[in-house]
Amino acid sequence: MVEPISWPDVERLIAEASSTEQLKQFRVAWLGKKGWITAQMKELGGLSPELRRVRGAELNTLRNHVATALDAKQALLEDAAEHEKLLRETLDLTLPGRTPVAGLLHPMTRVRRRIEDIALRLGFSLAYGPQVESEWYNFEALNIPKGHPARDMQDTFFVDVPGLVLRTHTSPVQIRSMQDRQGALPVKVFAPGLVYRRDDDATHVPMFQQVEGLWLDRHISLGDLLGTLTEWVGELIGPEVATRFRSSYFPFTEPSVEMDVGCAICRGSGCRICKDTGWVEILGSGMVHPAVLKNGGYDPDQVSGFAFGMGMERVAMRLFGLDDLRLLYQNDLRYLERFQSGGDAV
Query: Which positions from 225 through 254 interact with another protein, judged by CB under 8 A?
Result: 226-228, 230-231, 244-249, 251, 254
Subset of 274-303 contacting another protein (CB under 8 A): 275, 287, 289-290
Query: In this chain, which of 2, 29, 55, 116 binds another protein, going by CB under 8 A?
Result: 116
Contacts of 162 (CB under 8 A, 6+ apart): none
Subset of 38-67 contacting another protein (CB under 8 A): none
81 or 104: CB nearest another protein = 104
Count of residues that bind another protein according to CB under 8 A: 88
Dist CA 340 CA 106 (whole Å): 10
Query: In this chain, which of 45, 46, 149, 343 binds another protein, going by CB under 8 A?
Result: 149
Residue 215 binding another protein, by CB under 8 A: yes
Subset of 71-90 contacting another protein (CB under 8 A): none
For 217-255, b/e burial (b = at least 16 CB within 10 A) is eeebeeebbbebbeebbebbbeeeeebeeeeeebbbbee
Query: In this chain, which of 87, 93, 202, 333 binds another protein, going by CB under 8 A?
Result: 333
Query: In this chain, which of 102, 202, 203, 340 binds another protein, going by CB under 8 A?
Result: 102
| CA-wise closest residue to 307 among 257, 236, 240, 248 | 257
| CA-wise closest residue to 146 among 287, 251, 248, 249 | 251
Query: In this chain, which of 70, 263, 304, 307 binds another protein, going by CB under 8 A?
Result: 304
- Which part of the chain contacts another protein (CB under 8 A), choosing from 10-18, 40-48, 51-59, 221-229? 221-229
- Which part of the chain contacts another protein (CB under 8 A), choosing from 50-58, 71-79, 171-179, 190-198? 190-198
Put residue 134 in one of left, alpha, beta given phi > 0 → left and psi -120 to 50 → alpha. Answer: beta
Dist CA 281 CA 264 (whole Å): 12
Q: Which residues pair with 187 in a beta bridge?
A: 216
136 or 249: CB nearest another protein = 249
Residue 268 binding another protein, by CB under 8 A: no
DSSP string covering 164-184, please?
A: EEE-SSSTHHHHHHHHHHTT-
5 or 328: CB nearest another protein = 328
How far the first Cα of the chain sits from its last, in Å, is 81
- Tell me how far, at minimum, the Cβ of 321 lies from another protein, in Å: 19
Query: In this chain, which of 20, 60, 64, 125 binds another protein, going by CB under 8 A?
Result: 125
Query: In this chain, which of 2, 41, 336, 345 binds another protein, going by CB under 8 A?
Result: 336
Sign of the CA dihedral running 135, 139, 140, 145: negative
